[in-house]
Structure formats: C-alpha cells, structure tokens
Structure 1
Amino acid sequence: MSESTQAWVAAGVRAVIGAHTHAQDAGRTDDIVALYTPDGVLELPGTDPVQGHDALREAFKGWAPTQPQLHMVTNTIVGSAGPDEATASSDVLFFQRGEAGWAPLVAGHYEDTFRRVDGNWMFQRRVTTYQV
C-alpha cells in the first residue's frame, strides 16, 4: 500500500474515532450508532458484547451523560489491512466535571477494527479494556 493510501486510511480512521468521542460526550446516541456497521460490536469488560444498531442504541442511551464529561483519546496507532479495512489502538482517559471541577475517573485502551462502507469508515468492532 502506498504512503498516500496509508495516510488517507489513517486520516479517515482518526476522523471516525474523533466523531465517536464528540458524539458520546454530547449524548448524541444516533450519531454514535451511525458510526458502526449494521453488525458492529462493542465489547466492554464484565459485560456481554453489544452487537447491532438496535443494541448499540439502547446501550448508548443508557450511558448518556448526566453531567459534563470528556473522553480524551490519544496515542492512536493506525494499522491497515487494505484500502477498506483498518485497525487502531488508542489510549483513553475519561473525565467528568463535578462540583470540584474536572476529575479523571477511568484510564483505558481501545482496540478498534474498521471497515469502509460506501466510502465511509465505520467501526466494525471496539474492544475496551480498563487499566487499574
């Protein structure tokens, strides 16, 4: 794969990760779900995998913010299996704002798999782990 194709894949994947983060922190459930393939999967520690748009919508509705929050996604490394498939590994810090100000609550890691559908990069799978 050429360097320009790799850069194009990386830019597309990073844009989807950023869109997910902003939509999640704003509580825009439908915008989050639209970033997943119809059979997309979200895996979180201690829970069964959440698969498909209906299940993802219900899950993210339940996690809608009740106070200001920020997911800070960083150290993203994008890998590509081809022009229509990619992976990414990222670190994430989750903050909430309370009466005393912003506080970090969770540090974690994302392992993402993406597929390009109709020209758009979409999450096929997101596996989240938490560091303690």
Structure 2
Amino acid sequence: MSEATQAWVAVGVRAVLGAHTQAQDAGRTDDVVALYVPDGVLELPGVDPIEGHDALREAFKGWAPTQPQLHLVTNTVLTSWTDEEATAVSDVALLLRGESGWAVQVVGRYDDTLRRHGGEWRLRRRKTTYQA
C-alpha cells in the first residue's frame, strides 16, 4: 500500500474520530450514530455490546451531556489499513466542567475498527477500555 493511500486513510479515520467526539460532547445523538455502519458495535467495560443504529441511538441519547463535557482524543495511531478497512488506537480523557472548573473524570483507550460504507469512513466497532 502506498504512502499516499496510508495518508488518505489516516485523514479519513481521524475525521470520523473527531466528528464523533465533537457530536457526542454537544449531545448531537443522530450525528454520532450516523458515524457508525448500520450494524456498528460499541463495547464498554461491564456492559453488553451495543449493536446497531437503534441501540446506539438509545445509548447515546441516555448519555447526552447535562453539563459541559470534553472528550480529549489523542495519540491516534493507525494500526492497520486497506482501501476498505482500518484499525486505530487512541488515548482518551473525559473532562467535565463543574463549579470549580474542568476536571478529568476518566482516562481510557479506544480500539476502533472503521470500514468504508457508502463511500465514507464509518465506525464498525469501538472498544473502550478504562485505565485506573
């Protein structure tokens, strides 16, 4: 695979991850769900996998922010890629703004699998792990 293809895939992957983060932090549930393929899966510790647009919509609707929040997604590394599928790993920190300012609530990692769907990169699977 050429360096140009790798760069094209990396830009597409990062665009999806950034759009997901901004939509989730703004409480735009439908925008978040649109970033998953129709049978996309979200895995979180201690929760059964959430699969498909309807289940994802219900979950993200329930997690809509009630106070300002900010997911900081960083150190994204593309771990494998083709023209049609890619995997990436990213570090994430969730900050909430309370009366005394911003505070880190959780630190974790995203292991993402993305697939081309309808000509666009979309999340196929996101596995979230938390770090103590």
Shared fold (TM-score, shorter chain, > 0.5): yes
Stretch deviating more after TM superposition (99-108 or 74-83): 74-83
Deviation at 1:81, TM superposition (A): 3.3
The aligned residue for residue 81 of structure 2 is 81
- Cα distance in 2 for residues equivalent to 1:19 and 1:81: 20
| Residue pair 2:78, 2:89 contacting (<8 A) in 1 also | yes
57-66 or 77-86, larger mean C-alpha shift = 77-86
1:57-82 deviation digits (Å, cap 9, x = unpaired): 00000000000000000000013331
Structure 2: 5+ residue runs without aligned partners? Answer: none
Alignment identity in percent? Answer: 72
Distance in 2 separating the partners of 1:89 and 1:80? 10
Using structure 1 for the length normalisation, give the TM-score: 0.99
Name the SS of the counterpart of 2:107 in structure 1.
strand
1:85-110 deviations in Å (ceiling 9; x for gaps): 00010000000000000000100000
TM-score (norm 2): 0.99
Alignment of 1:35-46 (within 5 A): 35-46=35-46
**SS of the residue aligned with 2:58?**
helix
**Other-structure match for 1:10:** 10
Inter-partner Cα distance in structure 1 for 2:85 and 2:79: 9
The residue number in structure 2 matching 1:51 is 51
Distance 1:35 1:6 in 2: 21
CA distance in 1, matches of 2:104, 2:66: 16
Q: Kindly report the root-mean-square deviation, in angstroms, between the aligned alpha carbons of the 2 structures.
A: 0.6
Q: Any runs of at least 4 consecutive aligned residues in structure 1 with deviations exceeding 3 A, and if so which?
A: none
- Cα distance in 2, alignment partners of residues 53 and 117 from structure 1: 14
Q: Which structure 1 segments of 5+ residues have no match?
A: none
SS of residue matched to 2:104: strand
Q: For residue 30 of structure 2, give the secondary structure of its aligned residue in structure 1.
A: helix
| 1:113 equivalent in structure 2 | 113
Look up the equivalent residue of 1:74 and give its one-letter code.
T
- For 1:44 and 1:6, locate their aligned partners in 2 and report how far apart those are by CA, in whole Å: 29
The match for 2:124 is 124
State whether structure 2 residue 78 is matched by structure 1 residue 70.
no
Following the alignment from structure 1 to structure 2, what is the Cα–Cα distance between the partners of residues 58 and 49? 13
Question: Which residue of 2 is the match for residue 20 of structure 1?
Answer: 20
